[in-house]
């Protein structure tokens, strides 16, 4: 079944899935294959709903969290849809396998003091300061920021290219983001790399390195239990608090479902005050 897995990953790559997604899917499907091998099943054509259910129970017995099991099931469901598309199987054996229930953690929304402390901590590092402002003022994903090219920048807006399964969209830049970006671009190393954010040696600034750098400044700012993605959560929450229409916020941040944006309403106090200013 190794060739089928390789072909599946190639298909995902052609569809624009990120390297991190490919690694996760590869590990999840390979883990399923190892489980099936112990059950004496060596052909993808022989995969049945009962085996997927058994794999789910196996993961539970191995003390995987409900959230991890749910993610692995997503990988397997996607893999099974691929098998159908290639006419390797005719029915999806994972289609009716239910995800385990789990309580999702509420989004971590930074307080005014916390994001100001983060700004103060990184204000002398023009690259990280620009990254923090871009994430905090636009709500774009870290992967979208890492993929942002120089050609995607306009004076008062950016073009966020299609990323994984997310569609292309335009996002406005407010004065704070514009200023931080302008200062960074003046100091940006001269390089052939087209990505906006690069390393000191001129190479594209990778997602994992962006996370590490911002996490370091969270620690310096003594902002506890915060991650890069929380800047996006904070943007969404502040927009909703300021009364920005739900549909507009959803479009700005690229949510595929309005219900995803709606979940934030439970954690914000809506205000009639003027526009969100972070």
List phi, psi (to 5°) of 86: -95, 5
Q: What is the pLDDT of residue 275?
A: 52
Q: What is the pLDDT of residue 108?
A: 93
Q: What is the pLDDT of residue 276?
A: 62
Question: How many Cβ atoms from other residues are within 10 Å of residue 89's Cβ?
Answer: 18
Residues 6 or more apart in contact with residue 254 via CB below 8 angstroms: 140, 141, 144, 160, 166, 167, 169
C-alpha Rg value of the chain to the nearest Å: 22
Question: How many Cβ atoms from other residues are within 10 Å of residue 192's Cβ?
Answer: 7
Alpha helix (H) residue ranges in 86-168: 112-122, 126-138, 142-146
pTM of the model: 0.71
- DSSP lists the bridge partners of residue 238 as none
Tell me the domains of the chain and their CATH numbers: 2-85 (1.10.150.130), 112-267 (1.10.443.10)
Structure tokens at 127: 């690259």
Structure tokens at 231: 């800047």
**Contact (CB, 8 A) for 227 and 212:** no
- DSSP lists the bridge partners of residue 163 as 166
- DSSP lists the bridge partners of residue 20 as none
**Contact (CB, 8 A) for 149 and 195:** yes
CA distance 165 to 86: 20
Q: What is the pLDDT along the chain (278 residues), one digit of tens a residue?
A: 688 999 999 999 888 887 888 999 999 999 999 999 998 888 888 889 999 999 999 999 998 888 899 999 999 999 999 999 999 999 999 988 898 887 677 899 999 999 999 999 999 999 999 999 999 999 999 999 999 999 999 989 999 988 666 788 999 999 999 999 999 999 999 999 999 999 999 999 999 999 999 999 999 999 999 999 999 999 999 999 999 999 999 999 999 889 999 999 988 875 544 456 67
CA distance 230 to 142: 11
Q: What is the pLDDT of residue 184?
A: 97
Structure tokens at 67: 């959230």
Decide: helix, strand or coil at residue 143: helix
Residue 69 CA: distances (Å) to CA of 28, 64, 108: 10, 6, 23
Q: What is the pLDDT of residue 230?
A: 96
CA proximity to 276, closest of 228, 223, 238, 222: 238
CA distance 195 to 40: 48
């Amino acid at each position: 079944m190794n060739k089928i897995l390789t072909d599946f990953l190639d298909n995902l790559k052609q569809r624009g899935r990120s390297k991190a997604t490919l690694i996760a899917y590869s590990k999840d499907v390979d883990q399923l294959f190892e489980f099936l091998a112990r059950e004496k099943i060596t052909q993808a054509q022989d995969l049945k709903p009962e085996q997927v259910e058994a794999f789910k129970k196996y993961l539970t017995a191995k003390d995987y969290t409900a959230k991890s099991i749910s993610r692995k099931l997503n990988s397997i469901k996607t893999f099974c849809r691929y098998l159908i598309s290639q006419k390797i199987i005719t029915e999806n054996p994972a289609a009716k396998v239910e995800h385990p229930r789990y309580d999702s953690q509420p989004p971590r929304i930074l307080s005014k003091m916390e994001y100001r402390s983060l700004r103060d901590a990184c204000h002398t590092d023009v690259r990280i300061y620009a990254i923090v402002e871009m994430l905090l003022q636009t709500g774009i994903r870290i992967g979208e920021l890492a993929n942002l090219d120089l050609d995607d920048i306009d004076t008062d807006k950016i073009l966020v290219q299609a990323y994984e399964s997310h569609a292309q969209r335009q996002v406005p830049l407010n004065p704070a983001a514009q200023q931080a970006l302008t200062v960074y671009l003046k100091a940006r190393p001269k390089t052939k790399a087209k990505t906006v954010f690069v390393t000191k040696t001129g190479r594209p600034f990778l997602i994992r390195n962006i996370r590490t750098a911002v996490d370091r400044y969270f620690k310096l700012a003594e902002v506890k239990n915060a991650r890069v993605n929380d800047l996006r959560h904070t943007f969404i929450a502040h927009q909703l608090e300021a009364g920005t229409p739900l549909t507009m916020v959803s479009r700005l941040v690229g949510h595929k479902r309005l219900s995803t944006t709606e979940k934030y309403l439970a954690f914000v106090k809506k205000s009639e005050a003027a526009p969100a200013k972070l």
